[in-house]
Structure 1
Amino acid sequence: MSYCKKIFYLSLYKYTVKRFFSSSATEFRGVRVRFAPSPTGHLHLGGLRTALYNYLFAKLHGGKFILRIEDTDQTRLVPDAVEKLENDLKWVGIIPDESPLKGGPYGPYKQSERLSLYRPRLDDWMMTKKNESYHCFCSDRRLDLLRREALRSRQIPRYDNRCRHLSESEVKEKLEEGKPSCIRFKLSSDEQTFDDAVYGRISYNIALNEGDPVIMKTDGFPTYHFANVVDDHLMNISHVLRGVEWQISTTKHIMLYRAFGWKPPIYAHLPLILNPDGSKLSKRQGDIRVENFRNEGIFPEALLNYVVDAGGGFSKDTERKSSKIYSTPELAQQFDLKAIKPSSCHLSPDRLTEFNSYALERKLQDEKEILKLTENVKTLVTRTFQSRMESENLQLQDKYIVSVLNWSKNRITTLNDLVKDELAFLWTVPSHQVLQNLAEDSNINVLQDIKVQLSTQQGTEFTKDHLKIILKDFSIKTQFPFNRLMKLLRHAVSGLKEGPGVAEMMEILGQTSTLSRLDRAITFLKTVKTKQ
């Protein structure tokens, strides 16, 4: 090997070694982010935004998105909440790389199943750093009295750090007596500073407003703050993207990281999403649950774009047109953490219906999506009109459903609109009760004549514009008032008093179905007249 090559490779080696030891662990372990909800209810828009932004950030950087369940508070658990949460995420297209159901190399992914990981680390830490934590023997009754007294004095409730000052002998004596205790972490009285990727430099002295926090409860379960830090460290989480309501706790978490000698992740806090009236979103709001939007017929892509439209976080170089909807991969490519504005953002419900219309239009341009839509409409129509299926034949042919979707795309905002009263005629025939009001000889004769007229038309001529001409000519030749003719045909074909134009209804129903409905009305009206 030449002298120059030796110098080159030696320099490269030194550079690599220097870079490895000087760089943060994040650069080498890659981007790893997590969504860590508590299984205490349904996934709502606020949680969806947090999950989505973590997911987009991971995909943008070729990283991993982890779902971790923080269930240390066993008193608030909701049965099947974890499965429902993963199903909601799956429905919107946010698929975790690691999760309780999927597993992964850093599992378990439920904190209640990770108890064996917390206590040993806490015990080792307490042995090596005795002055950073302590046993607290205060009863629930005493703590409750402290809270009441603080509220009575209009002060912020906080622990008074009483047990911090117990001597070693006092602690040992109480432990030997078997008195229950929790473990508290000693907060530093200094102001703590960290860089928030959204809000910039944050400085806060948490000890001014809080007492020393519990990190291990008397039941052996870690608290959120302790388990959160341990899990983020053990799972190699590189970035923490979470709601701004957690920002006040971040200094506490960073203190814990430093106490354990661990490097904290990069923090980015997401601004609040507010209701249109400026109020905060609440888990108790049924209308912000992902499940609720799904039941209302909102498409996953529409819901994601709705959240993104309210929350921001996209490069200024990308023009987000109001008439366009983006897929998840497209959103990931546009995502820019630096573009997130720290100010709170408001939801605009009108935008959701717009996005849903855009999503439908986009799906109708994709053959695979058309097949899915067709099956969804079949299920929806069958479920809605199931009671009528034995006596009346529902129109559920694939070709017909596709034509209905294309015809109605500018009329509806969700698929559920297709089975509302004003569009029920698309699937069902008018009831006998509606037809009975038409039992007049003149009506029967007109229906018979117009049926003959319509049956002579070629299939290609059975269009809205051509039908309008036929109906007007028929009215003139028979001297049957045009308005009355429209009312008669509307009732016979759809059973509606108002709605789309008669010619338009006939066109979407098709010639065969229109003639069949007219024939059905004629037969029924003749039967009624015979009985009179």
Structure 2
Amino acid sequence: MTLRLFRTFTLQVIHKRFYNQSPVRVRFAPSPTGQLHLGGLRTALYNYLFARQNGGSFILRIEDTDQLRVEVGAMEKLQEDLLWSGIIPDEGPMTGGPKGPYVQSKRLDLYREQIEKLLENGSAYYCFCSERRLEMLRKEAMKAGEVPKYDNRCRHLEKEVIASKLSRQDPHCIRFKLTDKPKPFHDLVYGDVSISQGEGDPVVIKSDGFPTYHFANVVDDHFMEISHVLRGIEWQISTPKHLEMYQAFGWTPPQFGHLPLILNADGTKLSKRQGDIKVESFRKDGIFPLALLNYITYAGGGFRRTEGFQDVCHTYANLIKQFDISKINTSSSKLHHDKLMEFNKLELSNLLDDTNNMGFLVRKLQDMVLEAFPDRRNDGSLQLDDHHMITILEWARDRITKLTDLISKDLAFLWVAPRLSKAIEDPEILASLRTLYTELQNWERSNFERHQLNDYLKKFANDNGLKFPAFMKSLRTVLSGLQHGPSVAEMMEILGKDKTLDRLKHCHSH
């Protein structure tokens, strides 16, 4: 666990200890049908910040009632991505809690128990319509240019008919009775909202016995004592339906707030088909958790923006302090990739400023190098010592935006001593490299700086009657094995005196 993540966890413990009587309880309830993407991460983050700011609890609930779409391992991956992001649930599948289970497929008995109440009070009814009939209704509506919807036919079945069909075990689902005129509601983000239902009675229990999202969502939020629901704007149209279910049960509903869309820079919607919006893709690309969180908060509003807010990579504590639900934009927000790179560069600099983080960064970079050069793991050519790693990290502070930049092709020489397939053929250049090796041994390490080295190399070539371009080409080959990349003097500065001498010495043995 990184130092920053540990501090975040400690902050959570403090909040829970002193505010565990708080009524604020929020939840993030993803479906395990794919990987966590930026839209889901934003929803989780805003719920997390709201809970922390109000001394409340943040609950993770897995909504897996659509069993046909569940992906194996997706639930575990969702939890892993949240932990990586520093968004640590107070209750959930991994941590447990007093309101579990936190996976809907393990709560089926509760749903069966609650649907009986709606059947008894007349708010729900059995529907025996076949898929064939429902498909016919859809086609007729489409042909007439209307929005397809159920015609509520089974709402009017006689009790005797229902009993007969149930006794024969006819296939059926259970539907909820909607009113003709849903009531307006207050949205924490959008204010007073009125939405026309425009649909037939929705299914609440499917023919396989599993609840639909709408029903399980309401039941779980009630029994988990959720006080505020912050979710994507796409669910706003379903809120009147959910409120009617609360009323049918005689329950007090939570307060609802809906988050606007996050868009690509060109104004198009984010799509799960975009591989680059998955949290995992940012992790693999060397993006730091806080940089990613600042990226999505910068796009979505919801913060009291003080002077310079946009030019700082804020800590978890700052994000919690500055979060303000009343400041969330009601219009869609665009992501700008260059801002992510800016935040990541700031976060790298922040991490390097704290020496307690150096060990973490060194281990992370070592793992990245080992993964990038698997064919060199066991031949002793990889340079992974801590001192070298720290030197490179300090050199890179203002030159890179993410750690993965350090394992690019042009910088492979940082970690891998070049394999020289043959000795330098030009005897004059080979002799000059030996002379260079001898002279550099007398240099002070503090003077191994590119500007001084560049001036020295020019004078060295001139004093030894060498053509400077040819000499530099040979020296670049010895140091990196590359034809392109940083200047030779900069390579020497990056490698440092000892590594430079090692590579010059190595070329003598070929």
TM range (shorter): over 0.9
Once the two structures are superposed, residues 205-264 of structure 1 have per-residue CA deviations (whole angstroms, 9 ceiling, x without a partner) of 20xx21001111222221111111111011110000000000000000001111111111
Give the corresponding residue for 2:238: 249
Maintained 8 Å contact 1:275/1:281: yes
CA shift at 1:489, angstroms? 1.6
- Where 2:368 maps in the other structure, the secondary structure is helix
Identity, % of aligned pairs?
52
After TM superposition, the score normalised by the length of structure 2 is 0.93
Q: Does 1:116 align with 2:109?
A: yes
Q: Superposition pairs for residues 308-327 of structure 1, below 5 Å? A: 308-316=297-305, 318-327=306-315
User: For 1:192, which of 183, 191, 198 is the aligned residue?
Assistant: 183
Maintained 8 Å contact 2:22/2:56: no
Give the corresponding residue for 1:4: none
User: For 2:54, which of 61, 69, 74 is the aligned residue?
Assistant: 61
Residue 79 to residue 390, structure 1, CA distance change in 2 (3 Å):
closer
Q: Does 1:227 align with 2:216?
A: yes
Take 1:222 and 1:281, find their aligned partners in 2: how far apart are those partners?
Answer: 28
Take 2:85 and 2:359, find their aligned partners in 1: how far apart are those partners?
Answer: 19
Q: Does 1:46 align with 2:45?
A: no
- Where 1:486 maps in the other structure, the secondary structure is helix
Residue 28 to residue 380, structure 1, CA distance change in 2 (3 Å):
closer
Give the corresponding residue for 1:496: 482
Take 1:145 and 1:319, find their aligned partners in 2: how far apart are those partners?
Answer: 60
Residue 161 to residue 320, structure 1, CA distance change in 2 (3 Å):
farther
Report which stretch shifted further, 60-69 or 454-463.
454-463
Q: Superposition pairs for residues 74-153 of structure 1, below 5 Å? A: 74-127=67-120, 129-130=121-122, 132-153=123-144
Give the corresponding residue for 1:165: 156
Give the corresponding residue for 2:458: 472
Give the corresponding residue for 2:275: 286
Once the two structures are superposed, residues 494-521 of structure 1 have per-residue CA deviations (whole angstroms, 9 ceiling, x without a partner) of 2222322222211221212111211222
Q: Report how many residues are paired.
A: 491
User: For 1:512, which of 492, 495, 498 is the aligned residue?
Assistant: 498
Give the corresponding residue for 2:26: 33
Give the corresponding residue for 2:12: none
Report which stretch shifted further, 305-314 or 390-399.
390-399
Q: Could you say which structure has the larger radius of gyration?
A: 1
Give the corresponding residue for 1:447: 433
CA shift at 1:320, angstroms? 4.7
Give the corresponding residue for 1:482: 468
Maintained 8 Å contact 1:133/1:186: yes
Aligned partner of 1:92: which letter?
S
In structure 2, the gaps of 5 or more residues are 1-19
After TM superposition, the score normalised by the length of structure 1 is 0.89
Give the corresponding residue for 1:461: 447
Maintained 8 Å contact 2:290/2:314: yes
Maintained 8 Å contact 1:182/1:214: yes
Take 1:160 and 1:141, find their aligned partners in 2: how far apart are those partners?
Answer: 14
Give the corresponding residue for 2:415: 427
Take 1:29 and 1:444, find their aligned partners in 2: how far apart are those partners?
Answer: 76
In structure 1, the gaps of 5 or more residues are 1-26, 525-532
CA shift at 1:29, angstroms? 5.1
Query: Alignment RMSD, CA only?
Result: 1.7
- Where 2:256 maps in the other structure, the secondary structure is strand
Q: Superposition pairs for residues 196-275 of structure 1, below 5 Å? A: 196-206=187-197, 209-275=198-264
Maintained 8 Å contact 2:22/2:55: no
CA shift at 1:28, angstroms? 7.3
Give the corresponding residue for 2:344: 356
Maintained 8 Å contact 1:242/1:270: yes
Q: Does 1:342 align with 2:335?
A: no
Q: Does 1:305 align with 2:270?
A: no
CA shift at 1:386, angstroms? 3.0
Maintained 8 Å contact 2:291/2:343: yes
Take 2:283 and 2:21, find their aligned partners in 1: how far apart are those partners?
Answer: 39
